Structures are given as C-alpha cells and as structure tokens.
Structure 1
Amino acid sequence: MKRFLLAFLLASPFVVVHAEPEDPWLVLQKAASAAHDLSYKGVFIYQSGDNIKSVQITHTNSGQGEYARMVVLDGTPREMLSQGGDVVIFSSKNEKVIMEKRRAHNLFPAVLPEDIERLKASYQARVGGTERIAGRDGRIVFLDPRDSLRYAYKFWADREYGLLLKSLMLNDQKQMLEQMAFSQVNMMEEQGMDWFHPNVDHNKHYILEEANAQPAQDASGWTVGALPAGYRKVEQVTRLVPGKTAPVTQVIFTDGLASVSLFIEPLSKGTRPKIGQTSKGATHFYANVSKGYQILVVGEVPAATVAQIGSAVSFK
C-alpha cells in the first residue's frame, strides 16, 4: 500500500497555482466607492506637521442620500455637517457660533475621486502588503507620481469592505507630509437621522456667514494658460470676503487627488502687494501682481506646481 501511494505521488504531476496579483486600480476604485456608499462610524487622526487632531465621523448613505457629521475632538469646538457635496461648518467664536457654507472637497475617507481613471495619466499604482489599521486588515496601494508636479501617496484599503483606513502624503524623499488614519471604525446598520445635527449650545448666538459666492462666472479680463500636466479646472466662484473692498475670484484645479486654489482680486489703493513664494508643511504659496491684480496660488503640491499656475495667469 505504501509503495502504491509513493508511486502515485511520484507519477502525479504537481500543478503549482500562482494567484493572480491584485489590480491596484480596482482596489482604489472599491475604496473610492466605499467611502460614499457605506454607513460607518469611527475616529480618525489627522496629522500635518505639528498639527494633530482627532475627528469623530458618522456617515450614512440610505435612500435619503449621503450624509456625514464630523466633530473635531481636540481644541476649540468645531464640527461639520455635509449632505451630498454641500457642507456647513459650525465653529465657536467668542459668544457666537459661526456657520459657514462650503463645497466638500476630498474629505477623509473620501479622498479618492469616484472616477479612478482620472488618476492614471498622472500616477503609477502598485500593490504592497497587508497591515492592520484600527483592528482591520488593510491592503496597501502606492501611488507614485509620473512627474515632479505632485506628491506620492500610500493608501490602506479595508480588505473586506474596501473603505479607506489610512492615507499618507509623501514628498520625493518619501517623508510624510500629511497623514489621516482611523484609530477605530465600525460599519453601521441602517439607522435614523437623530445624529445628524450640531451639538447646540443654547448660551450662544448662531450666525450664518454666507460666502456670497457666484458660481461659474466667466473670467473678466484674465485667462489661465497652460496648466501643469494632469490638472484641470473643476470650480470657479466669485465671492465677497469680509475686509475686502472688491470681490475675490477663486478657481480650483485638481488632478483628482491634489488640489490647487487660484485667487485673483483687484489691488486696493494703499494695499501692500504680496510677491514671492513660501510654504507651510505640505502647502506651498505663490504670490504675484499683474495689471493691478493680486494673484495668489495655494495648494498641497510641490512649489513648482503653484508657480506654474500662477505664472500662467495673463490679463488682456
């Protein structure tokens, strides 16, 4: 019997099955969808330079639409309610609570664009190993920039649900510039909407600060020429800003991950113009003056990117 088994083993060909490597783009696409489609609650840590904050997030997407509430747990009370792409921020100021209406842009864990195809021209993706984040297995995906006009990223996506568990922004020396990571997270069953309201302080007055933004206004007397490769304009508004005598135009450009804001405003008489470049952590600033207008470009991108966008502004 033993000889028969030995002969059978020797005669039988061994078939070695190699598992197909995971497609990193499919991992990222699942993560992008999960951030909007799933219902979850947790706490994540945001770190940029010396700035470290803990944020509690509750998110749901039911038949009524997508809703989220974020509460900053450190320092001055501050929270945010979002419905779809609209955001209202509640922040204490003296004996008041200021409510600011804005548009949502790349809020963790929804930092990835819903259309991952937009990233392929600017980044190369590769799969790494698996690490535990907030008690869950996270599949690592690296996004390496194809040029020097954007930073690199490292993501951890939940192997079961796809939800992004951690995100790192890295410079060209692979040093961390920004980090967002869940310290705890749980999936939720369908529930009511009792949680979707700010923590009201009845001893303070609530004031809504309207941005007075006028969307999709055509450029008046100026244009933006050749943009850095991969970037495109996604939004343009003109708003009245407290302390400014003239409206300020803001134009937002993105490559799907990195975002850059261009601000253009007429220089007021007696106002000292800003000229030059500076940085704070991962954020770079470029300032210039042309034809009586102040130009300011801000973004969590390399210095060359903000300088190229700022230099591309021309006046008729």
Structure 2
Amino acid sequence: MQSSVAERSIEARVNRTRRFATALVLTTGALLGQPALGQDVRSRTDVQWIQAVRQAAQRVNYQGTVVYQAGGSMRSSRVTHLFDGTLSHERMQTLDGKPREYIRRRSGVDDEVQCLIPETRRVVVEHRKVGESFPGLSSASPEEILERYTLKLGEVERVAGIECQMLTLEPKDSARYGYRLWVDRATGLLLKAQTFNERREVIEQIAFSDVRIGERIDRSKLRPAWSTEGWTVERSDHRKADLAEHGWLVPTPAGFRKTREVARRIGGTDAMQAVFSDGLATMSVFIEPNSLLSSPSGMPGLPSAEALQVHGPTSAYSRRVGDSLVTVVGEVPPATVRTLAGSVEFRGQR
C-alpha cells in the first residue's frame, strides 16, 4: 500500500517522540561567552526574560544529555553545541533506538540540518527556521508571544544540579497549551520545558539530565561518528507555493499567523502545506490530491471520512474535501486542529 503524504507527516510528527529522540526538536544553538542575567533577575520584565532565553540559546556553549518524554514514551540524546563568533554548530546523537546523528549549522535566518542514517548510508538535508527548537524557545518576537500568553514568575528550582528560575506561559484562550520553563539564572539557557493541557496535566517534557555550560568545546566533538564518503545525499524538495492559486481557501486561525506555504512534487503531483504559528505552537495544513491516496481494495490506513490522532501534545485531524485529503497537524488541543481542518475549502483552480 502506498501511504499518503499526510499520513507520513502525521507519522513523522508522532514518531519523532518514539524513534528519533526528539530529532530536530532538540537541536539548537549556543555560544562561547556566558551572557549574565544580572543579580536581580526577578526585576526583569516579561520581554527581557524571553529575550534572555533567545539570546542564551544562540550564545552559550553547552554539552549535555537531553531527555524527551511524551505520550508514554521516553528518548534521550547527546547534544554538543558551539558558537564560533559567526555561526552556531551542533551535533546531536540519539542514544535510543536506531543510531542517528543530526549535524546543524545555524546562520542568520535559517539552519541547515543534516540527518545521518548509517544503515542506508544516507544524508538527508533540510533547512529550518532559527529558534524553532529546544532550548531556543521560538523565533518569534517576545511581543508576539506575549499577545497569546501571560508570563508568570515562579520559584527557583534546580535542574541538572543548576539553579533555575521557573517561568509559566499561561495561554490566553483554549486554542493552545501552556508551558513551564526552567531557565538557568546565570546564563539564561533553557534547561527544562513542559507543555501542559487545560487540566494542567503535563503532556510533554524536554529537559537536560546533565549539562556543562560555557566551557570551550573542541571542534572534533562536532564531527559525526561515521565517514559519509560515498553516501547518498538527499535534499528537501520543498518549494514555495500559493494554495489560493490552486483553488484552496485556508483561513488563518485566530491567534496565529501564516509563516509559509510550500509544495512537494510526488508522483508528478503537488502535495501542499501551509504552516501557522502563534509564536510558540505551530500547525500545518497538508493537502494531498486523490492520486496520492489510492490503495488496494480492503487495505486499511486511508480515512474514508474523518480521523483524529493524538500523541502527547501533537494532534492530527484528517478529512476529505472533494478528491483531496486535508490533514491538520499541530502541537495544540484536538479541538484546534479539528476547527482549522473544518474551515478549509476548495473553490476551484484559478
């Protein structure tokens, strides 16, 4: 059976927590000095706290083990991160499941990420926006985040033996989850993050179990464990798209903004994606034509009407619109993806 793009997208988001040990969720940036937060950290404004976390993710060297927990699964990764004064460089090694390494180079507006897959001798290369992964918090401005969330200062607690200031980002409506952050008081580096639902239950956690901050890092520690000479290099084939030109109306959900529209060519047909963000949470709308959804009679896996999947903070909802399958995936409550999926319309190609 040929699986559809949306199914693979849902599986990729869910299996990120199961197989890849937070793969691209964990990789981020850091730096040679330690930007001090100042002694009276409790006097910082909400904007200054968010700025401090963003700056530290770019400007603090660190090495440590990150543990990711969601939906009853737990995975760990080893992360080494260096800033050379111009670029950030990072190596992430999965410690569970199949061996994987992620080599990230960060500059300006985006990151180049290489995923090394030794059993098939492949290197998969893609580009991602800066600051979209732990401990980077977000690439959005503090002001944008604070439009949707209220920041509350909590107690001082230890994470991995380091004193941290606990911050809570309370959602201002039910369309998104809340977050708790534990920030190193000395450097501003985010050491632990939790996502909680409307019942204040923790549904996702990412945290350092051990970490060394601010030490000089030898570049040899950034080299992959395997020589990639002779390996196949695969580059992301995403390109810009305009869903409206293809006849699709995808309304921007309240409290979010559209960040990009892209398409991938599969089997001679475009599968399209629109991405929305509220500064912290993201949602993606995947639209796949019927030609990509065919499967042998009687084979399960393709939704005949509507389908909902939830794993940790990730919700995915699919529905058919005409001859296409519309799937919304995001780190938001199920009702939010269901509402967005229900608002998508096909009005005929221009």
TM-score norm. by structure 1 comes to 0.85
1:100 Cα deviation after fit: 1.7
In structure 2, the residue corresponding to 1:308 is in which secondary structure?
A: helix
The answer to whether 1:313 aligns with 2:335 is: no
Change beyond 3 A, Cα 1:283–1:75 = same
In structure 2, the residue corresponding to 1:195 is in which secondary structure?
A: helix
- Which residue matches 1:298? 329
TM-score norm. by structure 2 comes to 0.77
More helix by share: 2
Deviates more, 1:254-263 or 1:156-165: 254-263
Change beyond 3 A, Cα 1:193–1:114 = farther
The separation in 1 between residues aligned to 2:140 and 2:334, in whole angstroms, is 27
- Which residue matches 1:53? 75
Amino acid at match of 2:279: G
- Which residue matches 2:319? 288
1:200 Cα deviation after fit: 0.5
The 8 Å contact of residues 241 and 272 in structure 2, kept in 1 or not, is answered as no
The answer to whether 1:97 aligns with 2:137 is: no
The 8 Å contact of residues 79 and 89 in structure 1, kept in 2 or not, is answered as yes
Amino acid at match of 1:73: L
The separation in 2 between residues aligned to 1:303 and 1:269, in whole angstroms, is 25
1:164-183 deviation per Cα after TM superposition (whole angstroms, max 9, x unaligned): 01000001111111100111
Deviates more, 1:193-202 or 1:113-122: 193-202
- Which residue matches 2:16? none
- Which residue matches 2:105? 83
Change beyond 3 A, Cα 1:114–1:314 = closer
- Which residue matches 2:308? 277
- Which residue matches 1:28? 50
Matches for 1:66-145 after TM superposition, within 5 Å = 66-84=88-106, 85-93=111-119, 96-104=120-128, 106-113=132-139, 115-145=141-171
The 8 Å contact of residues 288 and 324 in structure 2, kept in 1 or not, is answered as yes
The total of aligned residue pairs comes to 294
Change beyond 3 A, Cα 1:80–1:309 = same
Deviates more, 1:61-70 or 1:204-213: 204-213
- Which residue matches 1:238? 263
- Which residue matches 1:255? 278
Structure exhibiting the larger radius of gyration computed from Cα positions: 1
The separation in 1 between residues aligned to 2:86 and 2:333, in whole angstroms, is 40
In structure 1, the residue corresponding to 2:219 is in which secondary structure?
A: coil
1:25 Cα deviation after fit: 3.5
Identify the structure with bigger relative contact order (alpha carbons < 8 Å, sequence gap 6+). Answer: 2
Change beyond 3 A, Cα 1:270–1:257 = closer
Amino acid at match of 2:221: W
More strand by share: 1
The separation in 2 between residues aligned to 1:306 and 1:58, in whole angstroms, is 35
1:22 Cα deviation after fit: 4.2
1:263 Cα deviation after fit: 0.8
Change beyond 3 A, Cα 1:126–1:198 = same
- Which residue matches 1:7? none
1:198 Cα deviation after fit: 1.8
Deviates more, 1:155-164 or 1:70-79: 70-79
1:291 Cα deviation after fit: 2.9
Q: 1:222 aligns with which of 217, 234, 247?
A: 247
- Which residue matches 1:8? none
The 8 Å contact of residues 101 and 209 in structure 1, kept in 2 or not, is answered as yes
Unmatched 5+ residue regions in structure 2? Answer: 1-39, 296-301
Amino acid at match of 2:320: V
1:287 Cα deviation after fit: 0.8
1:168-219 deviation per Cα after TM superposition (whole angstroms, max 9, x unaligned): 00011111111001111112445553233321067x9622223322135554
Change beyond 3 A, Cα 1:112–1:213 = closer
1:143 Cα deviation after fit: 0.6
The 8 Å contact of residues 34 and 163 in structure 1, kept in 2 or not, is answered as yes
The separation in 2 between residues aligned to 1:208 and 1:34, in whole angstroms, is 32
The 8 Å contact of residues 122 and 232 in structure 2, kept in 1 or not, is answered as yes
The separation in 2 between residues aligned to 1:20 and 1:46, in whole angstroms, is 29
The separation in 2 between residues aligned to 1:269 and 1:75, in whole angstroms, is 30
Change beyond 3 A, Cα 1:186–1:216 = farther
1:145-175 deviation per Cα after TM superposition (whole angstroms, max 9, x unaligned): 0111100100000000000010000011111
Unmatched 5+ residue regions in structure 1? Answer: 1-17
